[in-house]
Structures are given as structure tokens and as C-alpha cells.
Amino acid sequence: METTTMLYVAAAILLAFGYMKYQDKKEDLGKFSMGIGVVLAAVVFFGGAGTFAGLTAAPPGIATPEFVEGVIDGTCQVKSYTQLNFSGDIAGTDDATAPAGSVDFYSAGINPSDATANRLTTISITSGVGGLANGVLQSCTNYGIIYNGASAEYDMWYMGKDYTQPNQLPYVSTTDSAIASALVSFDNIVVVATIPDPLDETATSGIINGQTNVSGESTSTNEIMVGSDSTPAASDVVYYNKTNGDLSYYIDITLGANGANAKLKNPVLCFVNDNTNPFDGNEFSSVTVQRQSGTDFSLPTSITNYVNNADCVPMGAWIEAGQTGVYRIQFTAVNANLAATSDVMYIYPDDLGSYLGKDILRNTKATAGAMIEMQFLE
């Protein structure tokens, strides 16, 4: 039975009950009951005619949601963005004019680190300002959205969501066929720090095996020799002379980061071999690290396996610019396992977890610190 019919029946019952009580000389109760019945009947009649329709209609100025296939609750309509703008700042500065990369967009579920990944479109950023006006991107649609810092800043997922997590652009409610403008914001973009030179090869202050003379001239009796002449120079090869030494030596290296409001992400200390003649994995019986001064980067005490296997030693999640520490690396070599001249080892501080490590979008960031090249002489 419809609601209107039920209400008419209730009104009729009230009228009949009231009339009976009126006939029984209970005039007040009868009149009251009949009055209620008349009012109820009038309300039902005029309500059905539309007099009270405004009580249930949407308030003026509020559009009823347009339901779109695939959108469950109707609150988000799939529409193209006429224009997208960029907003962002540099961590530690709140400088909105500094970002200089781009914002890249990928289809949902695409891992941008894959060599075959292709982006849909991009917003180019210049002095912290960037815009896109091509209508390619849509609301209510999942994308992979990444700030691409190129070589100056680290890549950054939008809202911290990677390609495995659904992520949508900001929705702007509108009755227009397209969304005129929306803002994509990235806060605390991290600038890539500079890696300092870990060793001054010309130093005679004792940081190279405690020596006050590191000459590499042919008549030298040094255990550690820098270069092959009497005048050591920066970036010269550091030679360990097995004839002059006792197979145990050390170098004090400086680790850290430089630059204004900059950091190193996933910093590492890497030991790299010459690809033409890699280590066999048994060249050193022991390699240890001991902090001499400055910042504690949580390096493990023993790094023997890292060195023998040409691997990278982790140094925490971040190093901030201005942090610096001096570390002594003590080597104990195995004479029979070191091939003179052909065994070559390079020592590089770097970022992103490995030597020439790549960020989300497959680009390297910090330039690996000036290397230490170490060779061995009989």
C-alpha cells in the first residue's frame, strides 16, 4: 500500500473516531480527534499536489551529483584537466622558486624504474614555476606521479605513493565539461649535496699510514707511495709497496656532504675493482674502519667482505650538508693473493645505495666523490 493511501486511511479513522465520541456526548475529545483527521487529510492532499515538494528537493544552488559509470558514489566525475600547475619548495628553505626539475606522469601500475617505462606527459619546472595545458590527464583516474629532480634534486613520489599505490590528481568540482585548473604540490624537495674529496694524496700530515713522506720516486723506501715521482699530486695513484711494507697499512679519509640545504640520500662508501682484473675475494684478511673525529655515520667496524667482494658499505639513510667525519681504514693484505700492478682498487663515496646508483627515474644524482686509486707493487 502506498504511503499516501495509508495516510488517508489514518485520517478517515481519526474522523470516524471523533464523530463517534461527539455522538456519545464527549464533545471535546470528538472535536479534537476530528480536527487532527482533517489536518492530516489536508497535508496529504496538498503534499501530493507538490505544495511541499521543496522540503525534499536539493537546496537552491547545489547541483545533484551526475553519476558516471565506474564512479561508485557519484562525487567524482571523470573530466580532463585543461591546465595543471606546479607548486613546490626546497627542504630546509621553504623556497618556492628553487625547484628546477619536472613532474612526470605514468599510467597506473607502471614502474618508472623499468627500462621500458614510458611517461604519459610532463610538467617542466623553471625557477619553481611550471604548467601543463594539454588535456591528456583526467580526474578520478590513477596515475604514477613523480617529481623528477634531474641531476640537481632527488626524485620524489607525489603524496608519498609509489607505483603500487593508487594515486589521483586533486579533484576540482565543476559543472563544466573540463576542469579549468588544478595544482600539483610537492613539499620539501631535497637538493643533492656535493661529495668532498675523501683523501688529499699529497698530505704528509700522517693521514696516509702515518707517513711524513709519501714520495713515489724510484729510490723511495716508503710502504705507501703516491705517484711515481718525487712530487706527489692530487689524484695520483696510491701504491702499496709489498717489499717495503709489512702488509698492514691505513689511510684516513674524510666523509661527508657539502652544499646549501642539501643532503645525500642512502650514502655509501664503495670499493670498486678494475673490470679487466677483478679481485678474487681473498686479497685482504682484515679491513676495519674506526672513526677518528666528526660525525658518526654508523659504518660497521669490519668491512673485510665489502672490500674483498668489491661492494658498498652503507652509511645510513641521509647525510646532511655540513656533516663530516674522518675515518681510518686499516688494511691487512694477504701477500700471496695480491697481484702486483694488475690488482687495482678504487674507493668512491657515493649516494643512492651503490656506486653510480640510480634514483626512481633511473638518473644518477651526486657525482661519485673523487676516487682513491690503489695499486700494489712488489
Q: Is the pLDDT of residue 80 over 70?
A: yes
Question: Any idea what DSSP says for residue 48?
Answer: H
The share of the chain scoring above pLDDT 70, in percent, equals: 80
Q: Is the pLDDT of residue 58 over 50?
A: no
> Shortest CA distance to 289 belongs to which of 281, 274, 280, 299?
299
Task: Provide the β-strand partners of residue 239.
Answer: 225, 375
Instruction: Report pLDDT for 32.
Output: 58
Average pLDDT, the chain: 87
Query: Average of pLDDT values for 126-131?
Result: 94
The pLDDT tens digits for 324-368 are 999 999 999 999 999 988 899 999 999 999 999 999 999 999 998
Q: Please say whether the beta carbons of 129 and 155 come within 8 A.
A: no
Burial of 351 from C-beta contacts in 10 A (0-12 / 13-18 / 19+): buried
Q: Please say whether the beta carbons of 280 and 342 come within 8 A.
A: no
* DSSP one-letter string for 54-94: GGTSPPTT-PPP---TT-SSSS----BBS-EEEEEEETTTT
C-alpha cell at 61: 544552488
Q: Please say whether the beta carbons of 170 and 179 come within 8 A.
A: no
Instruction: Report pLDDT for 369.
Output: 75
> Shortest CA distance to 346 belongs to which of 368, 361, 362, 325?
368
Integer Cα distance of 280 and 288 in angstroms: 19
The pLDDT tens digits for 283-319 are 999 999 999 999 999 999 999 999 999 999 999 999 9
In sequence order, the 6+-apart residues with CB closer than 8 A to the CB of 91 are 188, 189, 190, 191, 261, 263
Instruction: List the strands of the sheet with 268-273, edge to edge.
Output: 224-226, 238-241, 372-377, 344-350, 268-273, 312-314
State the CB neighbour count (10 A cutoff) for residue 24: 10
CA torsion, points 264, 266, 269, 272, in degrees to nearest 10? -110
Phi-psi region of 92 (alpha: psi -120 to 50; beta: other; left: phi over 0): left
Integer Cα distance of 96 and 85 in angstroms: 13
Burial of 239 from C-beta contacts in 10 A (0-12 / 13-18 / 19+): buried
Q: Is the pLDDT of residue 240 over 60?
A: yes
Q: What residue type is 303 in one-letter code?
A: I
> Shortest CA distance to 308 belongs to which of 356, 254, 353, 345?
345
Integer Cα distance of 27 and 18 in angstroms: 8
Instruction: Report pLDDT for 54.
Output: 37
Q: Please say whether the beta carbons of 215 and 232 come within 8 A.
A: yes
The pLDDT tens digits for 1-11 are 555 666 656 66
Least confident piece of the model among 30-44, 76-90, 333-347:
30-44
Instruction: Report pLDDT for 22.
Output: 57
Per-residue pLDDT band for 16 (boundaries 50, 70, 90) equals low
Instruction: Report pLDDT for 9.
Output: 62
Q: Is the pLDDT of residue 89 over 90?
A: yes
> Shortest CA distance to 18 belongs to which of 2, 36, 33, 40?
33
Query: Average of pLDDT values for 49-55?
Result: 39
Instruction: Report pLDDT for 333.
Output: 96
Q: What residue type is 327 in one-letter code?
A: Y
Instruction: Report pLDDT for 57.
Output: 37
SS3 content of the chain, % helix, strand, coil (to 5): 15, 30, 55
